[in-house]
Amino acid sequence: MYGGGNIFEASRFDNLAQEDPEKLAEFEARIARGEKIEPSDWMPALYRKQLIRMIEQHAHSEIIGALPEGTWITRAPGFQRKMALMAKVQDEVGHAQLLYSAAETLGKPREQMMQDLINGRSKYSNIFNYPAFTWADSTIISWLVDAGAIVNQLANSKGSYGPYCRALERICAEESFHLKYGHHAVIHLATGTKIQREMVQEALNRWWPPMMHFFGPPDKVSVHTEVLTKWKVKMATNDECRQQFLDMYVPKIWELELTIPDSNLKKNSQTRQWEYSEPDWEEFKRVINGDGPCNKERLAVRRTAEERGRWVREALLTPEAKYVTPLA
């Protein structure tokens, strides 16, 4: 009923002809005036479905995104880094809570979202299906993945759907701390010993291609951008976000004398656009459709957490029930 679309196929939700034309015109006029749409306001079914799809995927990305970094909490070098990473991972899970609440305002129950994630019906960000082999992988995630997320989320926090925008504002504030923490940790490695430099360079080499995928397929093949930008859910296209990320972070990477694994990467002085080798979009499709290096592992962890936590959720929902905990 709610599900996502099929990658690179025409939207299945193109049912605007069935909407009341007057209501639709007033809705679009409100968006054009920069007003926020709130849960009780009239909205076309397509707007609701697109928002559920996107916010739900975003929420899933936050809880699944907590996993590759989460495994580094106990192995982070030193007490301070352990504490900081633990706080960051906790924040990411908190972001998921905010986003699930925003998606619930559109009518999809949280349990169903969780089931759709576990059963592979809903997507989540490609990037969290790659392994974090070393401490340097964890620092690159904290720096560059959070940086990419901020580019996208800051733009969309100015969008049209009130609950999503308010969640994004709060998320961006927290992500900016993550970014500083990640940058600091990368600087430490990049200005450290030869082994530390090699370790961070190898991590950057591993994360660069998925990072280029992170912003979504090129605008010319993006399925949902047109309708989402029209209704100000997406305030920047996939290519615009990718360009902005390159503008902001390539100089910072080069400043640390790290290299980017793309010999074609350069800024065109005429167009002011970055030119780069197209990342492997076939790999992207495989990864977002469940066949990446860690998809099965990530969903298995999530499934176990759901099963182990069921009695807690049920106890909270029915406080009068006399529960005997599995630990008793």
Residues that bind ligand BYC (CB under 6 A): 4-5, 7, 53-54, 57-58, 61-62, 65-66, 69, 92, 123, 125-126, 141, 145-146, 149, 152, 213-217, 222-225, 228, 234, 238, 288
Supply the minimum distance, in Å, between the C-beta of residue 230 and ligand BYC: 12
Residue number with the shortest CB distance to ligand BYC? Answer: 65
3 state DSSP class of 266: strand
Nearest residue to 223 (alpha-carbon basis) of 54, 27, 99, 70: 54
Based on the number of CB atoms within 10 Å of its own CB, is 29 exposed (0-12), middle (13-18) or buried (19 or more)?
exposed
- Compute the distance between CA of residue 321 and CA of residue 60 in angstroms, rounded to an integer: 30
Supply the minimum distance, in Å, between the C-beta of residue 15 and ligand BYC: 16
Supply the minimum distance, in Å, between the C-beta of residue 234 and ligand BYC: 6
Supply the minimum distance, in Å, between the C-beta of residue 145 and ligand BYC: 5
Q: ∠ CA 216-222-227 to the nearest 5 degrees? A: 115
Query: Dihedrals φ, ψ of 16, to 5°?
Result: -60, -25
- Compute the distance between CA of residue 6 and CA of residue 250 in angstroms, rounded to an integer: 32
Supply the minimum distance, in Å, between the C-beta of residue 228 and ligand BYC: 5
Quick one: 228 or 299, whose CB is closer to ligand BYC? 228
Quick one: 222 or 244, whose CB is closer to ligand BYC? 222
Supply the minimum distance, in Å, between the C-beta of residue 74 and ligand BYC: 17
Quick one: 113 or 223, whose CB is closer to ligand BYC? 223
Query: Dihedrals φ, ψ of 245, to 5°?
Result: -60, -45
Quick one: 95 or 189, whose CB is closer to ligand BYC? 95
Strand 266-267 relative to strand 274-275, pairing = antiparallel
Supply the minimum distance, in Å, between the C-beta of residue 311 and ligand BYC: 27
3 state DSSP class of 164: helix
Quick one: 171 or 200, whose CB is closer to ligand BYC? 171
Quick one: 139 or 201, whose CB is closer to ligand BYC? 139
Nearest residue to 149 (alpha-carbon basis) of 214, 233, 86: 214
Token pair listed for 104: 């619930």
Quick one: 27 or 148, whose CB is closer to ligand BYC? 148
Note whether 30 and 37 are within 8 A (CB): yes
